[in-house]
Amino acid sequence: MTHRRIFIGDVHGHYDGLMVLLDAVAPGADDHVYFVGDLIDRGPQSADVVEFVRQSGYGCVLGNHEQLLLDSFPNGRHNKAALEAWLYSGGRATMASYGKAGIPMAHLEWMRRLPLYLDLGDIWLVHAGVEPNLPLEKQTPEQFCWIREEFHRSTKPYFPDKLIITGHTITFTLPGVAAGELAQGQGWLDIDTGVYHPISGWLTGVDITEQKVYQVNVFQYSIRTLPLDEAIRQIQPERVLMK
């Protein structure tokens, strides 16, 4: 039997919801699980999420929220300006989850080693996306972790033979997408369904192998499973607004 490949959207500190989701997905020992980054911030249990993913050996790419945290503690010491920006962006909940002991160096070092992207053959995993008009070798970490509209407005796939899976942009902020739906454009699939947002609450796992979507709502702890093609809303690039 072929191993399953499972992709988990932005968790944002919702450890309990993640455990419910993984119970529903039930990955086996031979299955491959990947996270799109943004394990931390805004939700109440970031420390538990980081420790779980770190110990699990599952794949994970760097998200912009991990980058904000790392910028706040260069060389283990805090940078005041970066720290203030991170705390404003949801870092206070993360700091609270670690308690008085603070963020252990082992967690910081693990985050520093997270790759910007993972090339899985027919799947290319990155947190935010790519600049559609630049070759891969000229892309910057900021583009991989932060890009939005330029990527979503692309009218042709970046790779001819790879699907880009991302998080970062909550899907219902894209035109025509309802809370909980996945968004698909030209050569990309966005699986960040806004777990922390009061409009949504959905945490998503996508089993690409079996073409199934698993979701848990962290506000109601309801679970649903549906075929991938029924969970996707196609995006019209020209309707994505540029800032």
pLDDT tens digit string along 20-36?
999 999 999 999 999 99
pLDDT tens digit string along 193-243?
999 999 999 999 999 999 999 999 999 989 999 999 999 999 988 888 755
Positive or negative CA dihedral for 100, 54, 8, 70? positive
Number of folded domains in the chain?
Answer: 1
Q: Residue 224: CB partners within 8 Å, gap ≥ 6?
A: 214, 215
Positive or negative CA dihedral for 51, 223, 63, 56? positive
28: domain CATH number is: 3.60.21.10
| SS3 call for 104 | coil
Instruction: Give the structural domain span for 140.
Output: 5-239
pLDDT score recorded for residue 221: 87
